[in-house]
Structure 1
Amino acid sequence: MSDVLDTIRTVRVDQIGSLVNPPALLEAFRAFEAGSLSEDELSRVQDEAIIDTIRKQESMGLPVVTDGEMRRRNFQDNFGHSVSGFDVPKALSYQQALSGITEQVLARAEQNFAAAGPAILTRRPVVEKLKLVRNIPLEEYRFADRHTKQPVKATILSPDRIVQRFAYEDSRKVYADREAFLADVVAISRQMIQDLVDAGCRYIQIDAPGYTAYVDDVSLERMKARGEDPQANMDMSIKADNAIIDGFDDVVFGIHLCRGNARTRDPRTGKVAPQFHREGAYDAIAEKLFNSLNHDRWLLEYDSERAGGFEPLKHMPKGHIAVLGIVTTKSSDIEPEDFLKRRIDEAARFIPGDQLAISPQCGFGGFGHPTISQDEQWRKLEQLKKVADAVWN
């Protein structure tokens, strides 16, 4: 077991999460939402898409594979759809929740968080205490694991993101405060992780895009406007994130910190172009986060100037891996091999090379935003694998 964990802990090329849905699956989702396709029929299309994407990852020699999150409309569904208790409309509308987002290139893109949409995707109150009604990450893992001999990575949502998207001010009849709510989130998340461990999963990624709120002026002002102390919020989230992974010694945990994966199309070229959800470098939070959170691998966004430089990596403790997200999912341009090697060399000025790995900055998929093509996605991953093999032999 220790050899397996050591291998996973030092994987040099990583895939963050979602992969581009094939056209047949996109059409199946549309038909399902329109009521012309049954849930069983949708599931069959998802099965085929997942098996195909696993085969492609295997053929590329990726050391850890994922199911591409092809059963999810949004990465946050893995918690929001696993629990009961949130006040959500019976007919969940992803399009309504994502309506009104600007299409401007390189612009801040945010949906209406007060919309009557899915839990976590929008900021919802609760009507009763949260209960785990199904373990979606477990279901995803079990299917993927049956169709590969490679280690399969599962992804679950950070308590930090969950509590940020909890309308506590309208939920006090159920939870007296956010700490009481978080206690249930931690308990549920630990059960989800325990189920994954029992099923054989040895690599779990915690999606924690909420931590970049603590370097983003707009997000900080929103917290203050609600009467919250951002520093106290971050401390509360660190405690919760550590609590959900505490004691699971037979698992490698990675934590993914990004600034949002919004994309649009450049009206001049028709190509996929970047947007963002938050901005701000890691500098202000790196020392505290790197030395307070107990995760093995840090999956970080480094595909634009908005992410800042590599200097914060000097705070990374020994024995931990910084996974540099230096390939972008927001452009079809393939990053040259020499460029990627230079980026690794730049990072190695602040942290030993044996504590580094590389990845895309976020997932390639996602609903509500345009994506690059599957072919472009695979070419980017092939380039990452080629560079990782060359740098780390």
Structure 2
Amino acid sequence: MSAKLRYDIVGSFLRPAALKEARAQFAAGKIDQAALTQVEDEQIKQLVQKEAAAGLKVVTDGEFRRSYWHLDTFWGFGGVEHIVREHGYFFHDEETRADSARVAGKITFTGTHPDLAAFKFLKQITAGTDLTPRQSIPAPAQLYAELVRGPENVAALRKVYPTDEALFTDIANAYRDLILALYAAGCRDLKLDDCTWGMIVDDRYWQARDETAFDREQLQEIYLRLNNGALRDLPADLRVSTHVCRGNYHSTWAAQGGYAPVAATLFAKEKVAAFYLEFDDDRSGDFAPLAQVPAGKQVVLGLVTSKQAALEDPAQLKARIAEASQYVASADLALSTQCGFASTEEGNQLTEDQQWAKIKLVREVAQAVWNE
């Protein structure tokens, strides 16, 4: 995203009916991988055309090749296996599917990865246009959080990594190798999606679990070390951003709490150029913690919800942007939806037309505010 682009998206889009049908047929053994890939390719081409028609300058493949925003990436690393747990993630009023990731060997980037293959196709179909293809991947901290999720995962982890030092090094290196491979394939815009910070600030979540196993202050340092370790010594023309999420599954959420407890670590120290932040309701708190964002870094305000179809009042959006500018210079602000529209293939509870109406609203409000 250029410095003057004031509106953006987080990345995932509702899966079209043709794609859902093809994935169901593939799961049932009725079509092979080549047939599924053909459908994915066509649907991604159509999506990119729609993104361009909507006025977006930075485009994604909608995460159409993924089932989850995060797990598919984890499964693509060497040493990480796909498992199914007794329970999925517990959201506010739903439980997700029960897939997870578990350590089965040393964590490595093997030279191939589904996200790398996906980006190469997106790069190919945007070649010769003024569109910037973006690749989103879950943050390294998110992989760590998954690998220590529950005693069974921890037990498997400790068989390979008796202590954390080698684990942290391998996660950071595997990610950095993936990022450099994406760069070599032409990626110049990379986003780390990260729910770990949203979980840290949720007091309700921590009251429901044993805090003796994880100290929240210590976790912040671990997450920062993992993320920054993966981002060390990257090419100067690679724009890296992060999206801080509180869960986005079938229009429900997982965590709540303002940014204040993590602002001095996340905002002040993470080596990214931009923060995509949820602010679509009071679960995310107020804008005051944004004062910790260093001058010159961009804050993309997620004021327009991707969870519900009702359109926000443009006047209220403009007022909230003005309020945020008390803490971050207007020149460093932008507007987006608070999250993607389908962080998992289930998608949020709105139609494709309503999805595009949300993006249209984001663009129109941003253009009115910044006159660009």
Q: Is the 8 A contact 2:243 2:276 kept in 1?
A: yes
Report whether the alignment pairs 1:260 with 2:241. Answer: no
C-alpha distance in 2 between matches for 1:36 and 1:199 = 33
CA deviation profile, 1:92-140 (whole Å, cap 9, x unmatched): 69xx8649x67xxxx354548xx5x241xxxx3x222123243222211
Q: What is residue 354 of structure 2 aligned with on the other side?
A: 376
Report whether the alignment pairs 1:162 with 2:143. Answer: yes
Q: What is residue 278 of structure 1 aligned with on the other side?
A: 255
Q: Secondary structure at the match of 2:301?
A: strand
Q: Secondary structure at the match of 1:340?
A: helix
Q: Secondary structure at the match of 1:73?
A: coil
**Paired AA for residue 9 in structure 2:** Q
Report whether the alignment pairs 1:300 with 2:277. Answer: yes
User: With structure 2 as the length reference, what TM-score do the two structures score?
Assistant: 0.90
C-alpha distance in 1 between matches for 2:228 and 2:65 = 27
Change (3 A) 1:169 1:231: farther
Q: Is the 8 A contact 1:358 1:384 kept in 2?
A: yes
C-alpha distance in 2 between matches for 1:206 and 1:222 = 27
Q: Secondary structure at the match of 2:132?
A: coil
Q: Is the 8 A contact 2:104 2:156 kept in 1?
A: no
Q: Secondary structure at the match of 1:335?
A: coil
Report whether the alignment pairs 1:342 with 2:336. Answer: no
Q: Is the 8 A contact 1:224 1:230 kept in 2?
A: no
Gaps of 5+ in 1: 1-6, 264-273
Per-residue deviation, 1:221: 4.5
CA deviation profile, 1:46-95 (whole Å, cap 9, x unmatched): 11110011001111221211111100000113422311323434xx69xx
Report whether the alignment pairs 1:45 with 2:23. Answer: no
**Paired AA for residue 371 in structure 1:** Q
C-alpha distance in 2 between matches for 1:190 and 1:236 = 17
C-alpha distance in 2 between matches for 1:87 and 1:66 = 26
**Paired AA for residue 23 in structure 1:** A
Q: Secondary structure at the match of 1:41?
A: helix
Q: Is the 8 A contact 2:194 2:243 kept in 1?
A: yes
Correspondent of 2:134 among 132, 147, 153: 153
Q: Is the 8 A contact 2:241 2:272 kept in 1?
A: yes
**Paired AA for residue 311 in structure 1:** A
Correspondent of 2:61 among 62, 67, 77: 67
C-alpha distance in 2 between matches for 1:230 and 1:335 = 35
Change (3 A) 1:168 1:197: same
Q: Is the 8 A contact 1:159 1:182 kept in 2?
A: no
Per-residue deviation, 1:9: 4.5
**Paired AA for residue 239 in structure 1:** R
Q: How does 1:231-250 map to 2 (within 5 A)?
A: 231-248=217-234, 249-250=236-237
CA deviation profile, 1:136-172 (whole Å, cap 9, x unmatched): 2221111111112211111112111111111233322
**Paired AA for residue 60 in structure 1:** A
Q: Secondary structure at the match of 2:242?
A: strand
Correspondent of 2:286 among 299, 302, 309: 309
Report whether the alignment pairs 1:251 with 2:213. Answer: no
**Paired AA for residue 203 in structure 1:** D
Correspondent of 1:188 among 174, 188, 213: 174
Per-residue deviation, 1:354: 0.7
Gaps of 5+ in 2: 148-152
C-alpha distance in 2 between matches for 1:88 and 1:73 = 12
C-alpha distance in 1 between matches for 2:313 and 2:305 = 12
C-alpha distance in 1 between matches for 2:243 and 2:161 = 28
Aligned residues: 360
Q: Is the 8 A contact 1:160 1:237 kept in 2?
A: yes
**Paired AA for residue 18 in structure 1:** S
C-alpha distance in 1 between matches for 2:212 and 2:5 = 41
Q: What is residue 268 of structure 1 aligned with on the other side?
A: none
Correspondent of 1:33 among 24, 27, 38: 27
**Paired AA for residue 256 in structure 1:** H
C-alpha distance in 1 between matches for 2:108 and 2:207 = 32
Q: How does 1:60-209 map to 2 (within 5 A)?
A: 60-89=54-83, 98=88, 107-111=92-96, 115=98, 117-119=99-101, 124=102, 126-133=103-110, 134-148=112-126, 149=129, 150-166=131-147, 167-209=153-195
C-alpha distance in 1 between matches for 2:4 and 2:225 = 25
Per-residue deviation, 1:227: 1.9
Q: Is the 8 A contact 1:262 1:275 kept in 2?
A: yes
C-alpha distance in 1 between matches for 2:285 and 2:20 = 35
Change (3 A) 1:292 1:178: same
